[in-house]
C-alpha cells in the first residue's frame, strides 16, 4: 500500500516537470520563430545586413539573457523541488512506516498506470517536438551560414571593385600626366607655330611689297602724267587710237600723227624711266597692235603686227630712246582682235582699233602668280 502511494506522487512530479519542459519548449519555439523572421528580413535587405545583424544579435542577447533568467528561475524551482523531494523523502520515511496501514485498490493502481501511459505518450510527443525544433534550429543555422557566405562574397566583390577603382585611378593619373605632356608639347608647337606665322607674315609683307611694284609704277605714272596721256588703269599702258595714227586698212604711219606719237611716247618713257625706284624693275617696253573684229583673224593679225612694227621703227629714231638706252628693251607684236574693248558687253570697234605701249616688269609672271597666292582666301 505504501509503495503505490509513492508511485502516485512520483507520477505527479513528472507531470509537473513535463509541463515545465513544455513551457520551456514554447519559449524556444518563440525564439526560433524570431530567428526565422530575422533571417527572412536579412534576405530582403542585404544592404542593411550589418546593422540588422547587430540588432538581431542584440535581440538574441536579450533573449539569451531572458533564457538565463528563465534558467535561473528553473534552477530556483529545481532547488525548491529538491527541498520538496527532501520533504517527500522525509514523508516517505513516514509513509514507509505506515505502508502496512495503507492500501490501494486495484482500480486506483490501474488509473495510475493509465496516467503513467499518458505521461509517456506526452513525453514522446514532446520529444518529437524537440526534434522538430532542433531541425528548425539546424535549418536556421544553415540559412544564417548561407547569409554569411553571401555577405563574405559581397565583401570580396567590394574588395575586387575597390582594387579595380584603384587601378582606374592610377590609369587616370597616367593619362593626366600624358595629357599634361601633350598640352606642354602643344604649347611648344603653338609657340613655334606663332613664330612661323609671324615669319610668314613678315615674308608676306616683303613679297607684297615686291609684288606691289606694278601698282606703285602705275600710281607714279598717273601722278607724273596727270591728264596729259590716256593710261589704262589696270596695267598702266599708253593707248593711242589707230584712227589717228593710220588710215583705214593701212599700216603706214601718218606724217601728221608722228609728232603727237613722239610727244606721248617721250612723256610716257620719261615718267617711267626717270624714277630711280621704277627703272631697275623694267624688263621690256612692248608695242602692241590691236584691231576690231571686222575681217578674218589672220588678216587682222598681219595688219596689227605691221602697225606695231611701223610704230616701233619710228620710236627707235627718237632721242628719248637713246637717252635712256632702251632700244634693246623695245619689242613689237600684233594681237589681231584677241583683246577687244567692250562697253556694256558690246564691242567698241573704234576703241578696239588701237596701239598700246606697255611695260613689262622683271619676273612679271612669277610676281603675278605670287599675287594670286597671297590674295587667295
Residue 111 lies in a domain: yes
pLDDT at 376: 57
- Would you write out the chain's pLDDT as a tens digit for each of its 377 residues? 455 556 667 778 888 888 888 888 888 888 888 887 777 776 776 777 777 777 877 888 888 788 788 878 877 877 887 777 777 777 777 777 777 776 667 777 788 778 878 877 887 787 787 777 778 878 877 877 887 787 777 777 778 777 777 878 787 778 778 877 887 887 777 777 777 777 767 666 656 555 567 777 777 777 777 666 777 777 888 899 999 999 988 999 999 999 999 999 998 998 888 888 778 888 899 999 999 999 999 999 999 999 999 999 999 999 999 999 999 999 999 999 999 999 999 999 999 999 999 998 876 554 555 555 555 54
Same structural domain, 233 and 144 = no
- Does pTM surpass 0.75? no
- Which residue, of 117, 146, 169, is where some domain finishes? 169
Q: How far apart are CA 180 and CA 173, in angstroms?
A: 10
Same structural domain, 64 and 125 = yes
DSSP-derived secondary structure letter, 280: G
Same structural domain, 243 and 155 = no
Residue 280 lies in a domain: yes
Residue 344 lies in a domain: yes
Residue 185 lies in a domain: no
- Which residue, of 138, 169, 200, is where some domain finishes? 169
- Which residue, of 169, 191, 225, is where some domain finishes? 169
Same structural domain, 129 and 243 = no
Residue 184 lies in a domain: no
Residue 9 lies in a domain: yes
pLDDT at 255: 92
pLDDT at 1: 47
pLDDT at 331: 95
Same structural domain, 85 and 31 = yes
Residue 182 lies in a domain: no
Same structural domain, 249 and 141 = no
The parent domain of residue 333 ranges over: 212-375
Domain count, the chain: 2
pLDDT at 210: 54
Amino acid at each position: 500500500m505504501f509503495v503505490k502511494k509513492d508511485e502516485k506522487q512520483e507520477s505527479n512530479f513528472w507531470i509537473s516537470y513535463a509541463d515545465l519542459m513544455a513551457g520551456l519548449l514554447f519559449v524556444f519555439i518563440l525564439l526560433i520563430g524570431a530567428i526565422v523572421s530575422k533571417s527572412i528580413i536579412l534576405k530582403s535587405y542585404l544592404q542593411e545586413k550589418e546593422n540588422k545583424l547587430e540588432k538581431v544579435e542584440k535581440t538574441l542577447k536579450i533573449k539569451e539573457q531572458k533564457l538565463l533568467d528563465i534558467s535561473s528561475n528553473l534552477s530556483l524551482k529545481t532547488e525548491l523541488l529538491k527541498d520538496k523531494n527532501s520533504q517527500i523523502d522525509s514523508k516517505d520515511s513516514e509513509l514507509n512506516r505506515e505502508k502496512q496501514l495503507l492500501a490501494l485498490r486495484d482500480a486506483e493502481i490501474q488509473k495510475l498506470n493509465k496516467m503513467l501511459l499518458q505521461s509517456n505518450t506526452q513525453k514522446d510527443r514532446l520529444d518529437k517536438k524537440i526534434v522538430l525544433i532542433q531541425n528548425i534550429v539546424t535549418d536556421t543555422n544553415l540559412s544564417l551560414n548561407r547569409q554569411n557566405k553571401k555577405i563574405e562574397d559581397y565583401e570580396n566583390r567590394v574588395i575586387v571593385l575597390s582594387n579595380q577603382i584603384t587601378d582606374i585611378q592610377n590609369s587616370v593619373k597616367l593619362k593626366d600626366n600624358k595629357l599634361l605632356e601633350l598640352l606642354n608639347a602643344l604649347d611648344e608647337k603653338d609657340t613655334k607655330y606663332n613664330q612661323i606665322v609671324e615669319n610668314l607674315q613678315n615674308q608676306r609683307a616683303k613679297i607684297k611689297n615686291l609684288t606691289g611694284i606694278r601698282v606703285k609704277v602705275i600710281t607714279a605714272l598717273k601722278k607724273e602724267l596727270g591728264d596729259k596721256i590716256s593710261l589704262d588703269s589696270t596695267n598702266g599702258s599708253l593707248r593711242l587710237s589707230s584712227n589717228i595714227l593710220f588710215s583705214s586698212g593701212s599700216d603706214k604711219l601718218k606724217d601728221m600723227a608722228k609728232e603727237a606719237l613722239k610727244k606721248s611716247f617721250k612723256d610716257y618713257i620719261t615718267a617711267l624711266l626717270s624714277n630711280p625706284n621704277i627703272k631697275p624693275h623694267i624688263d621690256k617696253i612692248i608695242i602692241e597692235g590691236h584691231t576690231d573684229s571686222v575681217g578674218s583673224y589672220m588678216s587682222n593679225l598681219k595688219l596689227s603686227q605691221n602697225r606695231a612694227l611701223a610704230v616701233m621703227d619710228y620710236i627707235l629714231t627718237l632721242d628719248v630712246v637713246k637717252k635712256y638706252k632702251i632700244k634693246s628693251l623695245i619689242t613689237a607684236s600684233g594681237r589681231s582682235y584677241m583683246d577687244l574693248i567692250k562697253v556694256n558687253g558690246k564691242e567698241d570697234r573704234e576703241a578696239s582699233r588701237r596701239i598700246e605701249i606697255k611695260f613689262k616688269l622683271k619676273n612679271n609672271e612669277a610676281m603675278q602668280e605670287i599675287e594670286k597666292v597671297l590674295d587667295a582666301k
